[in-house]
Amino acid sequence: ILNVEQSPQSLHVQEGDSTNFTCSFPSSNFYALHWYRWETAKSPKALFVMTLNGDEKKKGRISATLNTKEGYSYLYIKGSQPEDSATYLCAFYRQGNSGYSTLTFGKGTMLLVSP
Amino acid sequence: NAGVTQTPKFQVLKTGQSMTLQCAQDMNHEYMSWYRQDPGMGLRLIHYSVGAGITDQGEVPNGYNVSRSTTEDFPLRLLSAAPSQTSVYFCASSRGTGAFEQYFGPGTRLTVT
């Protein structure tokens, strides 16, 4: 079974704090790495899709980096706001038994930002 | 664009009953998947399809059946519901695998008593 590990499990920060999360994945047969944001009572929405070693993506105050050789990705949030409160999911594409690739999700990092 | 739609939103079943969770997308996506979300477990893949007529099993397929007769629809059938199938079910679609993000439906909360 392929493992995608995310840390920390949860995080509570104050408004204005910057924070970062880690996603670890097996470095062999890398295909793609996804980050999703999941707000309570809603469905997950894609933040970033990364495919190349050294990729850096940015969307507003949120950015992500990718190291496929060592098998990790970081998600950074600069100046956290209460509306950033959500669970952040990392997912790794792996080759399935039938030859098709499938997305395996980590358990997520739950972020709570207090005003 | 409605995106990915799922029905019903909520359902309560008795053990042994069968039902079908509906999923439809209007984005002409080839790739569709079903996941279940359980506390502390993350999203786990049940079944997926890479196009009409082609389906395959994911990580937790037992007790579920799928078919894909059209590009738009990907129903999930529970053959004989068990309490272990109490979960929140999400359908997702994407243009393909790898570099294509997945679009998720709103979810179906299923309780089996």
State whether residue B51 sits within 8 Å of chain A by CB. no
DSSP state at residue A111: E
Per-residue pLDDT of chain A (115 residues; tens, 9 = 90+): 458 999 999 999 999 999 999 999 988 878 899 999 999 999 999 999 999 889 999 999 999 999 999 999 999 999 999 999 999 999 998 766 667 788 999 999 999 999 9
Is A44 in contact with B101 (Cβ distance < 8 A)? no
B39 touching A (Cβ < 8 Å) = no
Chain B CB contacts of A49 under 8 Å are 99-101
State mean pLDDT over B44-63: 94
Distance of CA B3 to the CA centre of its chain: 15
Mean pLDDT of the region B92-109: 94
Q: Tell whether B43 is within 8 A of chain A (Cβ).
A: yes
Cα angle: A93, vertex B25, A92; to 5 degrees: 10
CA distance B98 to chain A (A): 5
Tokens read off for B14: 């008795």
The answer to whether the CB atoms of B99 and A100 lie below 8 A apart is no
Q: What is the pLDDT of residue A1?
A: 41
pLDDT for A17: 97
Question: Cβ contact (<8 Å) for B42 and A49?
Answer: no
Nearest by Cα to B45 from B108, B89, B96: B89
Q: What is the dihedral of CA B15, B48, A64, A73, to 10 degrees?
A: 80
Position A2 scores a pLDDT of 59
Q: Which of A48, A93, A97, A102 should be substituted to probe chain B, the one whose Cβ sees the most B Cβ atoms within 10 Å?
A: A102
At A96 the pLDDT is 63
> Across residues B10-35, what is the average pLDDT?
97
**Contacts for A62 with CB less than 8 Å, ≥ 6 apart:** A47, A75, A76, A77, A78, A84
A–B CB contacts, 8 A cutoff, strictly below: 61
